Structure 1
Amino acid sequence: MSSALSRSLLLHRLTPFFASRIRQNHRLLSSSSSALPEFPSPSPSPSVDAIQMTDNCVRRMKELQATDTSSEGKLLRLSIEAGGCSGFQYNFLLDDKTNSDDRIFERDGVKLVVDKISFDFVKGATVDYVEELIRSAFQVATNPSAVGGCSCKSSFMAK
């Protein structure tokens, strides 16, 4: 096996480990806010970095909140993880809490939450909900921080 190939395989195996450790350390650092000075959060003003939600995304979140009592008041959380066929992958889940480092985007009462580390990978992105023959899912429709990705739009290469 060539050394370039073995380095590539090693990097591919270690990237998820280091990414999870960075997130874990960041959350630990954020939770011990007594050691850090507090800065006022910026006022929510529309910017080019804001994450947009399509009509389909908002409609689906409202449907989920209306039909399932356990989903009432849930937030849509978008996070980025190392892995996927293009380097990084999008991860969506329903959450009921926010962390101190989260950025919150709201449209028509629906909230999208992105942690600080993941936000750097999705600034200016648009989140959509798509229904296809083989799946229905939330997905990032456009991402100005990506230079490429897989055809199913579940992973991407960062700039």
Structure 2
Amino acid sequence: MTIKMFRNCKVHHCLLLMIFTTCIFATLGRPVLRYAYSGIAQAKRSVIISDRCVERLKKIASPNEYLRVIVDSGGCAGYEYKFNLVDTVNSEEDHLFEKDGAKVIVDDLSLSFMDGATIDYHEEMIRSTFRVVKNPNADTGCSCGASFSVKEDL
């Protein structure tokens, strides 16, 4: 009986999340939390930090600073990546990824849009910037590499 009640609680949690997501979608016109919850048992999520990203972060960040990557609505493709150097971590919502001393923070909601992606540093003649590349959750993006649309089949 206890197991059945526990399963019902999980079902109710999923229903509440779907209702909340539907309300956000109806208000904003796009699914903000659509991929934030992938079922009852979530697999470990991650991002890959490239060697170029590590090199650049070692040059510009102090030992107690992190590169925060955020997915926000906007840009020409629907969603955009934002990058900031920060010195605080929200232990309840943030996921910390580290490679060779370079530290990257991604909040839980943003990670649901970029799970499995690579964070890179790209240099051109006219600009240099951090970029999210090889994002398995992105369908199309604009030429600047800063915005993307989400795959519909997820």
**In the alignment, does 2:51 pair up with 1:52?**
no
Shift of 1:108: 0.5
The equivalences for 1:72-151 within 5 A come to 72-99=63-90, 100-151=92-143
Shift of 1:151: 1.1
Q: Report Cα offsets for 1:54-100 as digits up to 9, x if no partner.
A: 110000000113xxxxx442100000110000000000000101112
Secondary structure of the 2:116 match is coil
Q: Is the 8 A contact 1:15 1:82 kept in 2?
A: no
Secondary structure of the 1:113 match is strand
Matched with 2:21 is none
Instruction: Provide the rounded CA distance (Å) in 1 between the counterparts of 2:70 and 2:77.
Output: 16
Instruction: Provide the rounded CA distance (Å) in 2 between the counterparts of 1:88 and 1:134.
Output: 23
Secondary structure of the 1:59 match is helix
The list of structure 1 runs, each at least 4 consecutive aligned residues, that deviate by more than 6 angstroms after superposition, is none
Identity %: 43
Matched with 1:28 is none
1:64 alignment partner, one of 60, 79, 87: 60
Paired amino acid for 1:86: A
Return 5+ residue gaps in structure 1 as ranges.
Answer: 1-13, 23-41, 66-70
Q: Is the 8 A contact 1:78 1:91 kept in 2?
A: yes
Secondary structure of the 2:59 match is helix
Instruction: Provide the rounded CA distance (Å) in 2 between the counterparts of 1:130 and 1:117.
Output: 25
Q: Report Cα offsets for 1:4-35 as digits up to 9, x if no partner.
A: xxxxxxxxxx749x96xx8xxxxxxxxxxxxx
